[in-house]
Structure 1
Amino acid sequence: MTLFQSLPSSVLQAGAIFLSIIIEALPFVLIGSIISGAIEVYVTPEKVYTFLPKNRLGRIFFGTFIGFLFPSCECGIVPIINRFLEKKVPSYTAVPFLVTAPIINPIVLFSTYSAFGNSIQMVLLRALGAILIATILGIFLGFFWEESIQKENRLACHEHDFSHLSKGQKILQVFIQAIDEFFDMGRYLVFGCLFASIVQVYVPTRILTSISATPLLAIVLLMVLSFLLSLCSEADAFIGSSLLSSFGFAPVLAFLVIGPMLDVKNLLMMKNYLKTRFIWHFMTIVTLVVLVYSYLVGVML
């Protein structure tokens, strides 16, 4: 107790904010990890491929909306997409799934709803932004992109075959996969919560006010911040909500939309599997659409 009493009040305040965000976010990360583990064990790309529509537009929208059924964090989405591509799932189906799966699945939607005080507005606008970007990328890949997006000399994705396991062994593997994902995501969550708490306590209010007074600057700043923090989509809403009072609605919306699609860890994984030319196109389209979409939402609200 004496140790805590000797600490500056600002440190105690930052610690309290940090713990409050962590406590709110951890249950959603845990639930998402368990469900993702189940998907890893029980769902194969071959099963998904059998449900693909026959026409190109249908496959684009299939890839866009099937993410609602796959509570997969973006932390592991790139290797999954690589597996889909190796199983001959079209890029214009796989990439929309890459964009929407970490955002429109029920776990993330509910965590966003909870983080913003049971408000449906941010949930709908976040999902709409993801669907818009996925559709644009799908149309671009389906009708304007002719080459493969995968590297010819890429490293093969390590596949796990769980089909030979008994029911008990499969359940055990679900929890093993969930534990791995939980701790992998946890480090990003801790760093993000720490950063958000420090910003709230130590960054002068006048600086945040001056930034938020320029909507485009605030949007760009939080887009860059989201890229650097590399947060888990199952927990980033809690950090985003903590930044709402400092930056405003539109910048936080941009923060929540672009983060699961484009961040440091995803970019590094993409470079392992996908061609650099495609990655540049992907980054450009995502960045421009998020910027324009968030700005227009801010103007209309």
Structure 2
Amino acid sequence: MFQQSTRENILIFLLFSLFLFGFMFMEEIKNSAIPLEIPGSLIDLNTIFLSIVLEAFPFLLLGVFVSALIQSFVSEETIKRFTPKKGYIALVPATVMAALFPVCECAIIPVVRRLIKKGMPLHIGVVFLVAAPILNPVVFLSTFYAFRSDMTVVYARMGLGFILAIIIGGIVYTIFKNKDMLKTVENHTHAHSHQNGSEPSKWKLTMYHMSDEFFDTGKFLLFGALLASAFQAFVSREFIASIGTEAWSSSLIMMAFAYLVSLCSEADAFVAVSFQSTFSTASIVAFLVYGPMLDIKNTLMLLAYFKKKFVLTLMAVITVTVFIAILLFQLLFL
């Protein structure tokens, strides 16, 4: 497993280096003694890919660093002590509390599972799952930086994220109350060996967690940026325009895209902004709200930790509520 992970990281590094080399020496390659006819679409692919990645990386680093700090220095008992627990009344304060946790959608799932095992109500755990990856300060900063020329997207993402977290938590409470929906599986965590057998300091643990999470989430950023740039470089502008302006279809397409590319919420705004000129504002907001709540990688993690009935119900609730909310947003505000 370690060797496979190392090979993947090396391959990702080489891929990024290849794109960077092409960007820096494109003119020299074109004007070399053996001139190469480089298609314009490949040049566009390279330029869009690097612009997305280079803008997103600082926020990805900030996000994984703060997430690692919380994992090392904030105990689950502390979180549980300050978490509200009483039915529907707890939904709003739980959403506010979730906004203080700068962790992405995959990092929050193991934390929430442990908290539920220690007594956190199921619906409050769901609020943390769907709210924290959207509302946390790092995601707000990255979204603001990416869409500073169009603050409608920023306000819509934060506002809809807050409202939908409350609605989804309420629906889950209505359906499941406080039933046990956890699977009885062992919790697997990263293990780091130490020569003298002593426990590492919390700062060392922070660095370990940060490196693990950076490589785990960084490859999804690169994959998502590559798909987004390839889509814009190779698909005709006429086709993109035809599917990007229809309110309901473009929103569904962007929700599906968000699910498939599985981007980290700290960096997804930089992929979304690359579609700003071709897709509607509502569909971009759909991408930014739905992706952090539900994607391929967190679906697999949910299925590993929770019962299938609960996961399928949660997926349906998230998908339907987000889609309806986007249509209402389009109708009322755009």
Q: 1:258 to 1:54 in 2, by over 3 A?
A: closer
1:50 pairs with 2:78: no
How far did residue 93 of structure 1 move?
Answer: 1.0
8 Å Cα contact 2:84-2:94 kept in structure 1: no
8 Å Cα contact 1:104-1:130 kept in structure 2: yes
Picking from 286, 291, 297, the partner of 1:254 is 286
In 2, Cα distance between the equivalents of 1:54 and 1:254? 30
How far did residue 58 of structure 1 move?
Answer: 3.8
Equivalence map 1:152-163=2 (5 Å): 153-158=184-189
In 1, Cα distance between the equivalents of 2:249 and 2:306? 31
The answer for unaligned runs of 5 or more in structure 2 is: 1-24, 192-197
Picking from 123, 140, 157, the partner of 1:126 is 157
8 Å Cα contact 1:85-1:94 kept in structure 2: yes
For normalisation by structure 1, the TM-score amounts to: 0.92
- Please state whether the residue corresponding to 1:234 is helix, strand or coil: coil
1:230 pairs with 2:262: yes
1:211 pairs with 2:243: yes
Q: 1:297 to 1:180 in 2, by over 3 A?
A: same
1:292 pairs with 2:324: yes
How far did residue 213 of structure 1 move?
Answer: 3.5
Q: 1:271 to 1:14 in 2, by over 3 A?
A: same
In 2, Cα distance between the equivalents of 1:109 and 1:100? 12
Picking from 174, 178, 196, the partner of 2:228 is 196
Bigger CA radius of gyration? 2
Equivalence map 1:3-152=2 (5 Å): 3=29, 6=36, 7-53=38-84, 55-146=86-177, 147-151=179-183
1:220 pairs with 2:235: no
For residues 184-215 of structure 1, the C-alpha deviation after alignment (integer angstroms, 9 at most, x for no partner) is 11100001111111111111011112112422
| Aligned residue type for 1:139 | G
Picking from 156, 174, 178, the partner of 2:206 is 174
How far did residue 54 of structure 1 move?
Answer: 5.5
In 1, Cα distance between the equivalents of 2:123 and 2:30? 55
Structure 1 residue ranges, 4+ long, deviating more than 4 angstroms after superposition: none
Question: 2:17 is matched with which residue?
Answer: none
Question: 2:6 is matched with which residue?
Answer: none
8 Å Cα contact 1:154-1:274 kept in structure 2: no
For residues 124-165 of structure 1, the C-alpha deviation after alignment (integer angstroms, 9 at most, x for no partner) is 2111222222112221233431422212x33335498xxxx8
8 Å Cα contact 1:59-1:92 kept in structure 2: no
How far did residue 284 of structure 1 move?
Answer: 1.0
Q: 1:93 to 1:4 in 2, by over 3 A?
A: farther
In 2, Cα distance between the equivalents of 1:286 and 1:54? 22
Aligned-residue CA RMSD (Å) = 2.0
How far did residue 295 of structure 1 move?
Answer: 1.6
Comparing 2-11 and 171-180, the one that deviates more = 2-11
Instruction: Kindly tell me the number of residue pairs found equivalent between the two proteins.
Output: 296
8 Å Cα contact 1:83-1:157 kept in structure 2: no
- Please state whether the residue corresponding to 1:259 is helix, strand or coil: helix
How far did residue 275 of structure 1 move?
Answer: 1.0
The answer for unaligned runs of 5 or more in structure 1 is: none
In 2, Cα distance between the equivalents of 1:90 and 1:138? 10
| Aligned residue type for 1:80 | V
8 Å Cα contact 1:111-1:234 kept in structure 2: yes
> Percent identity at matched positions?
36
Comparing 126-135 and 103-112, the one that deviates more = 126-135
For normalisation by structure 2, the TM-score amounts to: 0.83
8 Å Cα contact 1:102-1:233 kept in structure 2: yes
In 2, Cα distance between the equivalents of 1:260 and 1:109? 13
8 Å Cα contact 1:34-1:178 kept in structure 2: yes
Picking from 291, 300, 307, the partner of 1:268 is 300
